[in-house]
Copies of this chain bind each other. A is one copy, B any other.
Amino acid sequence: MSQPQDPLTLEVVDLMATLVSVFHKEYEEAAAARSLTGAQAKVLALLRRGPLPMRQIAQTLSCEPSNITGIVDRLEARGLVARQADPEDRRVKRVAATEAGEAASAELRESLHFARAPLAALGPEERTQLRDLLRRMADSAGQR
């Protein structure tokens, strides 16, 4: 196990919890403003780098593949996404963002940069500090 429950760690954990909740809420709101749910927005965001098999989407979001079927169904019904056959394996369906989907996703991403108010409180040097600390945390989280 590891970290003792010193007051400093406790406070950082609580602060993170607060900010996590703020960021999470802002993300949901930004998605809702475009009539997307949070889950739909996440999938759409994943497709920015290119089409992906259903399986891989499920894996990335750590949920059941059957779950993705429904989310993609709804996105497809709105013309934001399309299922295409994979030429190399006829079992897999690759999900690709349509032009409308790309646009919605880009728009959402843009809006987040402005919506994320808490960052505005920090100056450039502080952001650099924060970035370095977050990088270390993210790296260690990724390696588990």
CB neighbours of A11 from chain B (8 A): 131
Copies of chain A in the complex: 2
* A118 close to chain B: CB less than 8 A: yes
CB distance B18 to A20 under 8 Å?
A: no
Name A137's contact: one of B13, B118, B144 (CB within 8 Å). Answer: B118
**Cα A38 to Cα B67 with chains together (Å):** 18
20 A–B contacts, CB within 8 A, in A order: A3-B113, A8-B128, A8-B131, A11-B131, A12-B131, A13-B112, A13-B119, A15-B131, A16-B119, A19-B134, A20-B24, A22-B138, A22-B141, A24-B24, A118-B138, A121-B136, A121-B137, A126-B133, A126-B136, A133-B133
